[in-house]
Amino acid sequence: MKKSFALSFIAIVPMMGAANAADGMPELEGHWKSLACELRPQQGQKGVEAWYLQRDIVVKGNTIDARFKNFADPSCTVPLYDLHFVGTVKVNGDSKVAPGAKSADIVVDKLVELTPKVEGFAGFLNSAGKGSCGADLFKVGSTQNVRETGCKPIGLPPNAVTTEFETLVVHNDGLFFGARPLDGSMLLKPENRPTALQVPLFKVE
């Protein structure tokens, strides 16, 4: 089982004071979803591998509530696991990446839930034993918050606070996040902040 989730939450970054996202980027508020199956690069055991997902994100005030459904196939018909995280958005200021773009930090500091959809991924999460990834062993379809316990199989320490250094743009009811590096690495350092954009999410509310 490849450790795709681990790539997003392996660095611990001190949490900074976060202004209300609506103050620096009011257009960010709302409910945003993928229109289709999306493809991202990720680091895997054999190098760069494909990561298929659908995103569902709500931003209210300075809070981001994100749900990622992760799949094994490019049509997003074979589910692997669901990821749900809640955190804080800090809008830092203007970016030169595109008109209206902002640099922003997304701090995952409130909740990280996992729901395995297949036995293989449940077994992967359980590989370190009970209490090392959630309070109980995972079963297919069961959801656990692993932020307090951490999750050893994905490299998440207990009570971790993680930050991704983002570039955000809202244009014509589309929300663009920064593009992920082609080598599958993550945005865990300020110098990795994106200088290009992903396909957009679209506003549904």
Q: How far apart are CA 150 and CA 132, in angstroms?
A: 7
Cα 95 to Cα 61, 170, 193, 195, 196, distances in angstroms: 21, 13, 10, 9, 11
Q: Is the pLDDT of residue 145 over 70?
A: yes
State the pLDDT at residue 183.
67
The pTM of this model reads: 0.86
Q: Is the pLDDT of residue 46 over 80?
A: no
For residue 85 the two structure tokens come to: 């995280």
Q: How far apart are CA 90 and CA 80, in angstroms?
A: 31
Cβ-contact 166, 95 below 8 angstroms = no
Cβ-contact 58, 67 below 8 angstroms = no
